[in-house]
Amino acid sequence: MKTNKKPKIGRWILLFLIIVFVRKIFYSPIKIDSSSLAWEVLIKKWDNFQSFTKNLAKPKQFALKFYVYFHKDSIDLSKIQEWTYVFSGEYSKAEFLDVIAQWPKQTYKKYTVLEGWSIYDIDFDLSKKWLIKTGDYISFVTNSDIISKYVQRYEFLSYTNKRLSSLEWFLYPDTYHLDIEWNFIDQLVYLQLDNFNKKVWTKYSQQIKSFSKLDWYDLLTLATVIEKEEKNNLNKATIAGIFFNRLSNWMRLDADITLCYGLKEPYETCTPAFINKAIYDKSNLYNTRQNGGLPPQAIANPSAESIDAVLNSKKTDYFFYLHDAKGNIHYGKTLAEHNDNKNKYLR
């Protein structure tokens, strides 16, 4: 009489697979990102553990929830603090949950990148605060290997027909929480690019792709000039319209601030007196008083509002503008009107 041993073999295979699965659930690490970049989670009031898992891949979500279920007596996630948690690299599940359960470590530093800052401003400010050595930030964001890594990650970096020599103008200005015990520059750049993706590309990508006046590269370049020329968001669309009027009539932009970038000078030290000394230097291709068209590339990191201004510029008959001593703006349709405004508001 024959006995069928296949069911027993099947049970052993099933048991083996269950053991492998459970082992993977309990012992496989949580890798935040394959490129070892930072991952930021902002926890607000009333948020819970689900806020940490929603951006993870489904298998990672399941593994963490499964792990928490079997350790519910030793893991207390009932009092998650409001904070910006930053994870990077690789964690065991216990380490990952320990970061969440503990009061956030005060190794995090709040750092603000102001709107309109260039890579020279950011480097200057970081080194002035003793957070980096002078030049380290510039070296990082102009490193071809670093740029290539990010080009593969973000569509907005590859959506241009020009080879990028810098991450300038994608390094979004905002306030960031950074771990001073980890690679400060790597964290900051990752978070800036990710912020650009969320606040600009996600919102405007379809409009950008159908925009006919300028390609993506030149659109950003003009947005950065507007960022430096006008602080009031309500005026930016009008300024954009003026620049379009000037460009379409083969007039120079005449935006003094642009020459600073060609001199690789932080805007903090590029004062009006500094600009006046270099205003006649035509060899500086960023000098838009001496050279026609747009600067060779973007001159700062623009806000979403400046990009929006280019995409939705206001059509007027103005070709000129100036700011008075109080910061109020005055427009002119002709050079005669502009000179009249100079006599009224600048003397």
Q: Are residues 94 and 68 in contact, defined by beta-carbon separation less than 8 angstroms?
A: no
What's the one-letter identity of residue 15?
A: L
Tens-place pLDDT, residues 74-84: 666 666 666 66
pLDDT above 70 for 32: no
| Confidence class for position 236, pLDDT limits 50, 70, 90 | very high
pLDDT at 34: 36
pLDDT at 335: 92
More confident residue, 160 or 175: 175
- Count of residues making up the chain: 347
The per-residue DSSP string of 282-331 comes to TT-TT-TTTS-SS-SS--S---HHHHHHHHTPPP-S--EEEE-TTS-EEE
Instruction: Tell me if residue 42 falls in helix, strand or coil.
Output: strand
Beta carbons within 8 Å of 20's beta carbon, 6+ residues apart = none
* Alpha carbons 231 and 306: distance in angstroms, whole number: 9
Instruction: Tell me if residue 257 falls in helix, strand or coil.
Output: helix
Strands of the chain (E only): list them. 30-31, 38-43, 83-88, 90-91, 108-112, 175-179, 320-323, 329-332
* Alpha carbons 196 and 194: distance in angstroms, whole number: 5
Quote the tokens at residue 89.
């690299």
Tens-place pLDDT, residues 103-133: 555 566 788 999 889 999 999 999 998 888 9
- Give the residue extent of every domain in the chain: 25-101, 119-316
Backbone angles phi, psi at 186, to 5 degrees: -60, -45
Q: Helix count (H) and strand count (E) of the chain?
A: 16, 8
- Going from the C-alpha of 269 to that of each of 23, 124, 160, 261, 289, the distances in angstroms are 58, 10, 32, 12, 20
pLDDT at 200: 93
Closest alpha carbon to 113 in 327, 266, 273:
266
Instruction: Identify the weakest region by mean pLDDT among 74-83, 189-198, 271-280.
Output: 74-83
pLDDT at 27: 56
* Alpha carbons 64 and 7: distance in angstroms, whole number: 33
* Alpha carbons 15 and 32: distance in angstroms, whole number: 30
What's the one-letter identity of residue 241?
A: G
Q: Could you tell me what percent of the chain has a pLDDT over 90?
A: 44
Residue 40: CA count within 13 A, CB half-sphere? 21
Instruction: Identify the weakest region by mean pLDDT among 25-39, 94-108, 169-183.
Output: 25-39
* Alpha carbons 132 and 314: distance in angstroms, whole number: 42
Tokens 């001073």: give the residue: 180
Looking at residues 19-38, what average pLDDT do you find?
53
More confident residue, 270 or 166: 166
- Going from the C-alpha of 33 to that of each of 26, 29, 190, 242, the distances in angstroms are 19, 12, 11, 44
Tens-place pLDDT, residues 240-268: 999 999 999 999 999 988 988 888 888 88
Tokens 């003094």: give the residue: 256
What's the one-letter identity of residue 60?
A: K
Q: Are residues 138 and 123 in contact, defined by beta-carbon separation less than 8 angstroms?
A: yes
pLDDT above 50 for 33: no
* Alpha carbons 148 and 162: distance in angstroms, whole number: 13
More confident residue, 70 or 123: 123
Instruction: Identify the weakest region by mean pLDDT among 32-41, 256-265, 311-320, 336-345.
Output: 32-41
Tokens 């510029």: give the residue: 313
Q: Would the pTM of this model clear 0.75, i.e. be above it?
A: no
For residue 159, count CB atoms less than 10 angstroms from its CB and return exposed for 0-12, middle for 13-18, buried for 19 or more: middle
